Amino acid sequence: MLQDLIAQARTWLAEDPDPETREELAGLIESEDLDELAARFAGTLQFGTAGLRGELGAGPMRMNRSVVIRAAAGLAAYLKAQGQTGGLVVIGYDARYKSADFARDTAAVMTGAGLRAAVLPRPLPTPVLAYAIRHLGAVAGVEVTASHNPPRDNGYKVYLGDGSQIVPPADGEIADAIAAVGPLDAVPRPEDGWEVLGDEVLAAYLARTDAVLAAGSPRTARVVYTAMHGVGTSVLTAAFDRAGFPAPVLVAEQAEPDPAFPTVAFPNPEEPGAMDLAFATARRTDPDIVIANDPDADRCAVAVPDPGADGGWRMLRGDEVGALLAARLVDRGATGVFAESIVSSSLLGRIAEQAGNGYAETLTGFKWIARVDGLRYGYEEALGYCVDPEGVRDKDGITAALLVAELASVLKEQGRTLLDLLDDLAVAHGLHATDQLSVRVKDLSVISDAMARLREQPPTTLAGLAVTSAEDLARGTAELPPTDGLRYRLRGARVIVRPSGTEPKLKCYLEVVVPVGSADELPAARAKGAELLAGIKRDLATAAGI
């Protein structure tokens, strides 16, 4: 086995164009590190609807220049097979390790394949790339990013010409084209011939952000902002300045791009401890709200002053922000379809129904939400919000931040806060309390075993609530294509279990709905909701064996 692995590794080493990964792999071969070589050559990093995402390093199971060149060559072959010969592919990238290299390799491969390539001028938020695709009339776009993954990861996200991320069958067809790529030295990669864009695209994106805000709306909210060591600071501050908001107070330790993400264990605002520096800055400066983007600035987190919270600040759940933004758009008279993924709170449907707007549920991911016909607003509980689908058909943490700041300003003029509006929504529609049971694993068999156990022995009650239906989403439904997931409906509650598409996690999404007759009943309703969520989480963990 060792000799087979070494033979595979030597073959890979011979065509690796990157001196760093060549040196890394040569060291593994010399030391005959069986375990590490087996992990690197256990298969091939799979291209799917999330594109590619994985740990940096040498070998076909890691993100590296060889893997990216093959992915780019496969994408180019797919585009040409679709009749897009000569079309433009626009390429963006974040500030992670190797992102700029992967962007240049992609541009070279596209140019060598006879397509036109244009690269954004520097590391910029993913929504700028998503905007640029339609703005420039591109046939496809590539964003090199691992979003909120750990520092050791990178990724490769593909969009088609409509500005939306790929979905089946395109992902499978691109994967087949990647698999058909021969030796790397047969992939033409000229040294030049592609365009490096200027700031005109960014200027056009910033001009489009005007569409998010109501003319003449208040712009007084004071904000503390963190880019989480990502690429959001310059774009968000420019958007806030253009809109006339006070300049955000930056979390200085996290304001500049840094691929090491030195102040956080995971660069995700949802992770424990990630917002500690932002809250410390808020306690010194007393803003109205705290806003955080993830490293590629397509997600937006919001925190509010709360005397009852530890440290005086509370992170709003993604579902809470999703409902607040929907309420703001409804208040402004927005019409069209309000859409969300099935793992997000059902409160959005009630808000849309009361306003006379359409409502749609999709599979998890903005690749599905963005494709809803007549979309006016879309969100997902994982801090993703599409508030201007005519501009960016994807989640956009910059425009979401603008709309949150506008809403906070409107409420501030009324002597109210975001928490007051959440209370109003609970009284109007019932308290929709959500939570998540999320288990990060090193061994992926833990996830498959848990899913198999739940399929074989589905729970009949959770937290004393009867399970009224159990759906295996892998079989598909009348409204949804097949996906690896399970949905349980209970009396007054809902649970969805699925493997994460981007991280080694099993994720369980929980929601309970507690009727509320008046504001006086809210404390009791919250206590009831918390009790039910804790019980469901406990019983579900037992049922899944996690």
Domain containing 88 — which CATH number? 3.40.120.10
Contacts (Cβ under 8 Å, ≥6 apart) of 266: 148, 149, 150, 274
422 and 434 together in one domain: no
What are the pLDDT digits (tens) for 275-287? Answer: 999 999 999 999 9
Residue 504 — pLDDT band, cuts 50, 70, 90? Answer: confident
322 and 294 together in one domain: yes
Section 126-153 average pLDDT:
97
168 and 85 together in one domain: yes
45 and 185 together in one domain: yes
Beta strands 116-119 and 223-226, pairing class: unpaired
Kindly tell me if the per-residue pLDDT of 28 is higher than 80.
Answer: yes
Section 209-231 average pLDDT:
97
What are the pLDDT digits (tens) for 163-217? Answer: 999 999 999 999 999 999 999 999 999 999 999 999 999 999 999 999 999 999 9
369, 391, 426: which is the final residue of a domain?
426
Lowest mean pLDDT among 155-159, 299-303, 439-443, 455-459: 439-443
188 and 280 together in one domain: no
User: Residue 207 falls within a domain, yes or no?
Assistant: no
Is 409 catalytic? The answer is no
118 and 176 together in one domain: yes
CA distance 38 to 81: 35
172, 198, 224: which is the final residue of a domain?
198
CA distance 470 to 468: 7
438 and 419 together in one domain: no
Q: What is the mean pLDDT of the chain?
A: 96
Residue 396 — pLDDT band, cuts 50, 70, 90? Answer: very high
183 and 238 together in one domain: no
The answer to whether 57 touches 21, Cβ cutoff 8 Å, is yes
Segments forming the whole domain that contains residue 445 = 430-544
CA distance 276 to 292: 11
pLDDT above 70 coverage of the chain, percent: 100
159 and 81 together in one domain: yes
Section 326-331 average pLDDT:
98
Burial 73-106 (b: 16+ CB within 10 A, else e): bbbbbbbbeeebeebbbbbbbbbbbbbbbbbbbb
CA dihedral 132, 134, 139, 142 (to 10 degrees): 30
End-to-end CA distance of the chain: 33
CATH number at residue 470: 3.30.310.50
Domain count, the chain: 3
User: Residue 296 falls within a domain, yes or no?
Assistant: yes
Backbone angles phi, psi at 174, to 5 degrees: -65, -40
User: Residue 210 falls within a domain, yes or no?
Assistant: no
What are the pLDDT digits (tens) for 54-112? Answer: 999 999 999 999 999 999 999 999 999 999 999 999 999 999 999 999 999 999 999 99
Kindly tell me if the per-residue pLDDT of 50 is higher than 80.
Answer: no
CA distance 382 to 74: 30
Which of 277, 250, 247 lies closest to 261, judged by CA?
277
The pLDDT, as a whole number, for residue 100 is 98
Chain centroid to Cα 186, Å, comes to 35
In Å, what is the CA distance from 473 to each residue of 31, 118, 329, 486?
A: 46, 39, 32, 5
User: Residue 222 falls within a domain, yes or no?
Assistant: yes
Residue 49 — pLDDT band, cuts 50, 70, 90? Answer: confident
173 and 269 together in one domain: no
Section 239-248 average pLDDT:
98
Which of 58, 131, 140, 49 lies closest to 98, judged by CA?
58
pLDDT above 90 coverage of the chain, percent: 95
466 and 416 together in one domain: no
Kindly tell me if the per-residue pLDDT of 132 is higher than 90.
Answer: yes
The pLDDT, as a whole number, for residue 419 is 98
Section 494-514 average pLDDT:
92
User: Residue 56 falls within a domain, yes or no?
Assistant: yes
The catalytically annotated residue of 147, 164, 217, 346 is: 147
Farthest-apart Cα atoms in the chain, separation: 73
359, 392, 426: which is the final residue of a domain?
426
Contacts (Cβ under 8 Å, ≥6 apart) of 387: 212, 325, 329, 377, 396, 399, 400, 403
